[in-house]
Copies of this chain bind each other. A is one copy, B any other.
Amino acid sequence: MTSEEKYRVAVIGGTGPQGKGLGYRFARGGHDVVLGSRAAEKAEGIAAEVRDHLGGTTGAGPVGSVSGASNADAVAQCDVVLLAVPYDGHDELVASLPLAGKTVISCVNPLAFDKRGAHGRVINGGEGSAAESAQELAPEATVVGAFHNVSAVGLWEEPGFLDEDVIVVGDVVGAKQVAMALAASVTGRVGIDGGKLRLARQLEPFTAVLISINRKYKVHSGLRITGLGEPH
């Protein structure tokens, strides 16, 4: 099941593995993608790499365009913005972007690593998340959380759709529906409405569990929600 509507998506952090991989999948699903980076030239180089990678795909329809720009220029060109940046520096970057009026999708995972492995970072005394921070820093944007748990390796290397689900959380249904539709480019199914934005507190650090499983079992694990039937 794919959505008919095509979006133009700015990917902030588009030169990192998660941003590059999601941008690749969105373009493969027919959406236009503008990869953003601090340096426009670097974004343009990665965009060329994504276009090359798309050249080898046999999608159901035409692929979308992929270009590169500075982060601010990428946002200015798009109605939908994916935040795919590391949590370090996240707040300053979000505050610097012209996000008013945009649908903003955060896949940011605030994780910490030590000798015992990955674990969630505590945001706002346990009552916050990267997605909620973005909403506070960009109050005129509409922020949703999604795509937290998809593996960058799978996005780039797996030839077909990923065998997992994208859970979307947010307080505005229309904005959630954008992320749910984009999810079909990744999994072949619309995303799952997981509830309110504050549940990003649960989705973001769950990635630490998947990282732990990956290390233990030498796999690229994903998350699937059972019991919904097909198609949900």
CB of A122 within 8 A of CB of B120, answer no
Determine the distance from Cα of A203 to Cα of B223 in the docked complex, in whole angstroms: 13
Interface of A is mostly: mixed
- Which of B169, B203, B209, B225 is A221 in contact with, Cβ under 8 Å? B225
- Number of A residues, CB within 8 Å of B: 47
CB of B216 within 8 A of CB of A221, answer no
Chain B, residue nearest A198 (CB): B119
Taking CB atoms and an 8 Å cut-off, the chain A residues in 192-226 that contact chain B are 192-196, 198-199, 201-203, 205-206, 208-210, 212-213, 216-217, 219-226
CB contact under 8 A between A209 and B167, given known A216-B193, A217-B228, A225-B224: yes
Tell me if A126 counts as interface (CB < 8 A to partner B).
Answer: yes
Give me 9 A-to-B residue pairs in the complex whose CB atoms sit less than 8 angstroms apart, sorted by A's number: A126-B127, A154-B227, A167-B213, A192-B217, A194-B209, A213-B228, A219-B228, A220-B227, A222-B225
